[in-house]
Amino acid sequence: MENELQRLKAEAEEALHAIGDKAALEEFRVKFLGRKGLLSSTMKQLGKVSKEDRPRLGKLANTIKKGVEELFQDKKEVLESSGGGIVEDVDLSLPGRSLPFGKLHPVTQVMDEICAVFEGMGFAVAEGPDVETDHYNFEALNIPKHHPARDMHDTFYVSDSILLRTHTSPMQARIMENQEPPLRYIAPGKVYRCDSDITHTPMFVQVEGFLVDRKVSFADLKGVLSSFIHRMFRDDLPLRFRPSFFPFTEPSAEVDIACVFCGGSGCRICKRTGWIEILGAGLIDPEVMKMVGYDPDEFSGFAFGLGVERIAMLKYGIDDIRLYYENDLRFLSQF
Ligand code: PHE
């Protein structure tokens, strides 16, 4: 009897160990622990053993039964927590699957680079609201209502007096009206115009820059912008200042660089001129100075505004601006 009990215990332990799913566990329960199972029927034999041996063997039988029941419960919990008993084969020697690294968007990378060049020249960075008032976007920049220059901006209006800023120039007025010269700022940020083709997206990024002090001249503007362009592209890249018009600068200019696609000999992208326009600039108009309370006889300054996507296109040889905003990872992961 004692041997029989010990043998049953060993058999039950071995069987439990091999079990991998709930159906096999239930079979085990019926076979060993059920009312007509092996343990119960062995215990029924206790009546036949001698009176002296009965208490000892009875105790042993109970201990063994309890032990098997406990192992059974443990196994049941393990199977339940591993999701119904599907034990996956995991090969720990296989190399791991790596996740692709995220990167900064190319426009963000170029914007950071532009800011770093100007910060190196002592400019501070300021940011303003994308949703702007008509006052800061136009009026304070010498563009009154019905001024023809408003047509150039393809403005998204929120209401009569609220709009999505069409350029970062409102930051000139916002900063100047709160601070006294000398000032040296750049203002990067998103701007919006109702326009979409291979060189325009309805949202794009500009960096505004301006400097106000005593005796600031056009030569200072030329020096700062030439250094910037040579740092961004290459030291000997030809550039030119071409007369232009903006209501908030006088005189005004646009800056062209030698076409980076054809080297200046003329191609489809530079429209056979050999030059590509990259920014607008000028000396801040005395009218703008007066509106923020500066005396134009005492102070002068320059301002410029450049399109970040444009500069990134020229740096990387991209010919369709819309690629930046289609979120195709095959394009974005190249930067
Ligand atoms: N705000 C002008 C534009 O978006 C660019 C500009 C900025 C021109 C500052 C002159 C001075 O076209």
Tell me, what's the pLDDT at 98? 86
Atom of ligand 1 nearest to the CA of 167: 4
Mean pLDDT of all residues in the chain? Answer: 91
Compute the average pLDDT of residues 260-265: 90
157: which DSSP letter?
Answer: B
Domain count, the chain: 2
Looking at the structure, tell me whether residues 53 and 184 fall in a common domain.
no
Residue 216 and residue 281 in one domain = yes
pLDDT at residue number 19: 87
Cis upstream peptide for 251 (omega within 30°)? yes
Question: Same domain, yes or no, for 114 and 188?
Answer: yes
Residue 101 lies in a domain: no
Which residue range forms the structural domain that includes residue 275?
Answer: 106-332
Ligand 1 center–CA 137 separation, angstroms: 11
Question: Ligand 1: which residue has its CA nearest to atom 4?
Answer: 167
* For range 204-233, the mean pLDDT: 97
Q: Which of 64, 282, 265 is nearest to 172 (CA)?
A: 282
**Res 12: pLDDT:** 86
Both 51 and 197 in one domain: the answer is no
pTM: 0.72
Take atom 12 of ligand 1 and give the residue whose Cα is closest: 280
- The two counts, helices (H) then strands (E), for the chain are 11, 9
Q: Are residue 201 and residue 314 in the same domain, yes or no?
A: yes
Same domain, 237 and 309: yes
> Ligand 1 — pocket residues by CB below 6 A?
167, 169, 208, 246, 249, 280-282, 303-305
Indicate whether 85 pLDDT > 60: no
Query: What is the per-residue pLDDT for 50?
Result: 86
pLDDT of residue 177: 97
DSSP secondary structure letter of residue 153: G
**pLDDT cut 90: percent of the chain above it:** 60
Rounded to the nearest angstrom, the distance between the alpha carbon of 282 and the centre of ligand 1 is: 9
Q: CA-to-CA distance for 214 and 222, rounded, in angstroms? A: 17
* CA distance linking residue 254 with residue 259, whole number of Å: 15
203 and 299, same domain (yes or no): yes
